[in-house]
């Protein structure tokens, strides 16, 4: 009987998460140190995620052949229930036609990255492009079931960004978990990092030279403030970036895998309902929300046993 329960749990469990992090060329020792340090910290943080497949490339290893190899591995061994998270740290540029991230050897274009990611079967995909000019990559990277986060809103924002360090802080800081469910979603990390970035420029009394964007509909050019009003943020809110605390421990326990998947499914239904609120009556909204919150409480009670 126990074997059957474990098999059932495995079938219902959340898939693996493939993390591919690339720290590009800094152009000088200070930027090299900053970019590599952020990549190393992010590597350490995401390795705590159960069933994570982590590839971190920096320095001479951050070349196109190695990046493609990491994504080819996810394409070959990944499954539909997996999640793919690609993070780009460094400098980017736009020549009027192509966005490129600066790496050793030939630079990687957004078109190349999109082509390699399209081969990966993971139904949930995320690109966090923290480079300068990153807003120019949205048009090529956007796709159904993919969240695209950029540090800048356009190619014209060419200066080195602060967004990268605040994104890494969102991964390690429980304050980013605004709904206190011990999971930091991509949407929560975006809002945290964006708020911190805005605060940085305000505290330094400097004109902001970057404005982060999020696109997760597969159709638009991204928005500054994703929410039900503009239809952005639903997929990002349903995509876990990292788990911690009790949820991290639950994800490691085979007997709790099915419960964890149920909890994430219920939370996804709650987020979807919020986005549909304007189209249904107040009474119906409250009825559906109450039922989902009750179901969520019951699932959480079972997880906590």
Which residues, 6+ apart, have CB-to-CB distance to 205 below 8 Å? none
* Torsion on CA atoms 167, 159, 129, 59, rounded to nearest 10: -90
Taking only the tens place, the pLDDT of each residue in 136-166 is 999 999 999 999 999 999 999 999 999 999 9
Quick one: pLDDT band at residue 13, thresholds 50, 70, 90?
low
Q: At what angle do helices 110-118 and 64-77 cross, to 10 degrees?
A: 20
198-222 pLDDT, tens digit each = 999 999 999 999 999 999 999 988 9
Helix residue ranges per DSSP H, the chain:
2-12, 29-46, 64-77, 110-118, 138-141, 163-172, 186-203, 234-237, 245-252, 257-276, 282-304
* Confidence at 246, pLDDT banded by 50, 70, 90: low
Q: How confident is the model at residue 250 (pLDDT cuts 50, 70, 90)?
A: low
- Record the pTM: 0.86
Question: Where do the domains of the chain lie, and which CATH numbers do they carry?
Answer: 2-244 (3.40.50.1460), 246-304 (no CATH)
pLDDT of residue 276: 78
């Amino acid at each position: 009987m126990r074997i059957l329960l474990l098999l059932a749990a495995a079938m219902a469990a959340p898939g693996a998460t493939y993390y591919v992090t690339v720290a590009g060329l800094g152009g000088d020792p200070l930027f090299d140190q900053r970019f590599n340090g952020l990549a190393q910290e992010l590597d350490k943080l995401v390795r705590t995620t159960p069933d994570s497949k982590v590839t971190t490339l920096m320095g001479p290893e951050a070349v196109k052949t190695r990046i493609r190899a990491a994504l080819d591995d996810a394409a070959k061994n990944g499954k539909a229930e997996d999640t793919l998270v690609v993070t780009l740290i460094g400098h980017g540029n736009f020549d009027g036609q192509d966005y490129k991230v600066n790496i050793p050897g030939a630079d990687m274009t957004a078109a190349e990255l999109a082509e390699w990611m399209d081969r990966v079967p993971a139904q949930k995909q995320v690109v966090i492009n923290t480079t300068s000019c990153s807003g120019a990559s949205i048009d090529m990277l956007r796709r159904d079931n993919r969240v695209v986060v950029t540090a800048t809103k356009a190619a014209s924002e060419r200066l080195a960004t602060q967004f990268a360090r605040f994104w890494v802080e969102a991964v390690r800081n429980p304050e980013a978990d605004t709904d206190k469910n011990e999971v930091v979603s991509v949407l929560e990390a975006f809002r945290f990092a964006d708020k911190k970035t805005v605060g940085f420029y305000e505290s330094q009394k400097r004109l902001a030279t970057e404005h982060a964007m999020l696109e997760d509909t597969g159709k638009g050019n991204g928005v500054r403030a994703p929410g039900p009003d503009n239809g952005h943020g639903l997929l990002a809110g349903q995509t876990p970036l990292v788990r911690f605390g009790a949820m991290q421990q639950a994800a490691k326990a085979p007997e709790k895998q099915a419960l964890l998947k149920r909890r994430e499914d219920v939370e996804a239904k709650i987020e979807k309902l919020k986005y549909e609120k304007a189209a249904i009556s107040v009474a119906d909204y409250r009825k559906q929300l109450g039922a989902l919150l009750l179901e969520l409480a019951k699932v959480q009670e079972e997880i906590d046993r």
